[in-house]
Amino acid sequence: MTNVQRITRKSERWFRRNQRDLPWRRTYDPYHVWVSEVMLQQTRMEVVLRYYERFLQRFPTLADLAAASSDDVTAAWSGLGYYRRARMLHEGAIAVREQFGGALPGEVPALMTIPGIGRYTAGAIASIAYDRAAPIVDGNIARILARLFGRRANFWRRADDLVQAAGSARVFNQALMEIGALICKPKQPMCDRCPLRDECRAFASGRTELAPRKRAATVALRRRLYVVRDRRGRILMRRDTRGMFVLVGRSPLAVGRKRIGTFRHTIMNQRVTFEVFTASGQQPTANCSWIATKDLEKVPHPSFVRKALHLAGALLLAASTLLADSRTYQIAADAKNTVEFHAEDTYDAFDGRTNKVSGAISADPLKPSASTVEITIDMASLNTGNTLRNREMRELYLETRQHPTSSFKSVSVAAPDSIGPNQPAEIKVTGDFTLHGVTKRMTIPVRVVLIPDGRIHATSSFTVHMPDFGINVPKNILVTVDDNVPVRLDLWAVAR
Ligand code: SF4
């Protein structure tokens, strides 16, 4: 077997076992893959995960994106930064509608005729969405290839040789991306965990450290921002050349200037200290308009404006009006809502998740202790990613044919007096947990965040002592599983 074949086989095998569960990997829909690739340019994964689902809820299909106004698209992108990406994605969607009848093509040359799609993104869409043997090279992959083959290697040619030899281009390209993100990091690569260690030239020569890249010198700047309000509480905002709404840097007609604080924000190589003032005004100045606080979330604005509005309490005020009422929130049985089960010491042996979770949360942010929570988990949908293990888990362990659902019904909630938007709150929910036909009262800690657009995100980690529910863990079947199985809930609830 050649070196190239060894690299592709080992990478693909590693990815199949270790890939992260990312939302665009659930369907490999070409539009979803495209959106994720554009968002991931120059933005960390944790940040992208916060915006990706929201963006797709707003524009579920490529046709929806193409039909949207550029303001709506930029508003949905607010907070992600590098807004040129949003404009290019929008222009690209319009081009796909007009040139390709609304379906993203699967070949690299055709993809590269679409505005905003270069060689890397075209290769990513062709390989990840359509499983075509197209190479991709970004910063992470170039780093791995430099370590595997030496810095002078032609990276695109190497990437092409590899993907042509791969069993699946989709799996192999994502494997390289994942190894670059999780293992072969720029500093201190984790070679002891790397599947490519035996093929790696840098590892063999003990020279895995890369020479540091020269960075542009950081420039420190100071800027002033004014949160100017009129009598109705509206805020004075100016539209800049990118079409973004920004706060004014000064306003000759504003009165009662008051300094409320400073914050730091980094844009490219500029470290800017923003000084925020509040003031009152009656007339808009040139190129400016008054924006009502309830509309602040709808207009596109950069994240430093968001920080200034938070400092001035303006966004909190806008969000509070959305969240002030007592409401019932629905937990939909979709892929976003998951319950994960883990064995304590043998993660690989007993890692499963079910995403058929449904239920309702009735909550009043001003009186959270009066909330009620009801959750149903369809145990039959438990998926360990391994067919044989699924069968063992369902039939021998959880007996899902007899007890296909587990449920939780709250009896009391211990919480702070009130919960503000975007302010994570720790609460304790006591309730009756039914599993395997046995009901036990449990208290579970829950972390709740009220999202200003009217959603709740609740996460919880707790353990279930299996013998309490009449389940004796068959240690001989599932390797060794601790009888206290840690469970993690991740729920998004939408106001009904
Ligand atoms: S062995 Fe180390 S340097 Fe080589 S590819 Fe793996 S993590 Fe990177």
Could you tell which of 208, 209, 210 is best to mutate to test the pocket of ligand 1, judged by most ligand atoms within 8 Å of the CB? 208
pLDDT score of 481: 57
Instruction: For residue 198, report the distance from its CA to the centre of ligand 1, in Å.
Output: 9
pLDDT score of 348: 43
Could you tell which of 141, 151, 183 is best to mutate to test the pocket of ligand 1, judged by most ligand atoms within 8 Å of the CB? 183
Domain spans in the chain, listed from the N-terminal domain onward:
3-205, 219-322, 327-495
Q: For residue 195, which atom of ligand 1 is closest to its CA?
A: 6
Does residue 176 have its Cβ closer than 6 Å to ligand 1?
no
Q: SS3 breakdown of the chain: % helix, strand, coil, rounded to 5?
A: 35, 25, 35
CA 155, 156, 162, 167 torsion: positive or negative? positive
Does residue 208 have its Cβ closer than 6 Å to ligand 1?
yes
Q: What is the DSSP string of 125-142?
A: IIIIIT--------HHHH
49 by Cβ neighbours in 10 Å (0-12 / 13-18 / 19+) ranks as: middle
Given the residues 12, 37, 107, 399, select the one marked as catalytic: 37
Largest CA distance in the chain: 78
CATH code for the part of the protein at 327-495: 2.40.128.110
Does residue 181 have its Cβ closer than 6 Å to ligand 1?
no
pLDDT score of 346: 44
- Domain 3-205: CATH superfamily is Hypothetical protein; domain 2 (1.10.340.30)
Q: In terms of Cα–Cα distance, which of 265, 329, 275 is closest to 458?
A: 329
pLDDT score of 347: 38
- Give nearest CA residue, ligand 1 atom 3: 208
Q: CA-CA distance, 288 to 191, in Å (whole number)?
A: 55
Instruction: For residue 7, report the distance from its CA to the centre of ligand 1, in Å.
Output: 12
Instruction: For residue 206, report the distance from its CA to the centre of ligand 1, in Å.
Output: 10
Whether residue 209 lies in the annotated active site: no
Q: pLDDT per position in the chain (496 positions), as tens?
A: 788 999 999 999 999 999 998 999 989 999 999 999 999 988 888 889 888 988 999 999 999 999 999 888 988 888 788 888 998 999 999 999 999 999 999 999 899 889 889 889 999 999 999 999 999 999 899 999 999 998 888 999 999 999 999 999 999 999 999 999 999 998 889 999 999 999 999 999 988 876 545 566 788 889 999 988 888 878 899 887 767 788 888 777 777 788 888 888 887 778 899 999 888 887 777 778 898 877 877 777 888 888 888 887 766 555 555 555 677 888 988 878 999 887 654 434 566 889 899 999 998 877 888 899 999 999 988 887 777 777 877 777 778 888 899 999 999 999 888 777 677 889 999 999 999 889 999 999 999 888 766 688 899 999 988 888 887 765 554 445 567 888 889 998 887 7
User: Does this model's pTM top 0.75?
Assistant: no
Give the right CATH number for 219-322 from 3.10.20.30, 3.40.830.10, 3.40.50.300, 3.90.79.10: 3.90.79.10
What are the phi and psi torsion angles at 339 (to 5°)? -125, 125
pLDDT score of 301: 81
| 39, amino acid identity | M
Pairing status of strand 219-229 against strand 270-280: parallel
Does residue 210 have its Cβ closer than 6 Å to ligand 1?
no
Does residue 197 have its Cβ closer than 6 Å to ligand 1?
yes
Q: In terms of Cα–Cα distance, which of 461, 453, 459, 460 is closest to 422?
A: 453
Does residue 144 have its Cβ closer than 6 Å to ligand 1?
yes
- Give nearest CA residue, ligand 1 atom 4: 200
pLDDT score of 325: 61
pLDDT score of 335: 73
The token pair at 20 is 């992260």
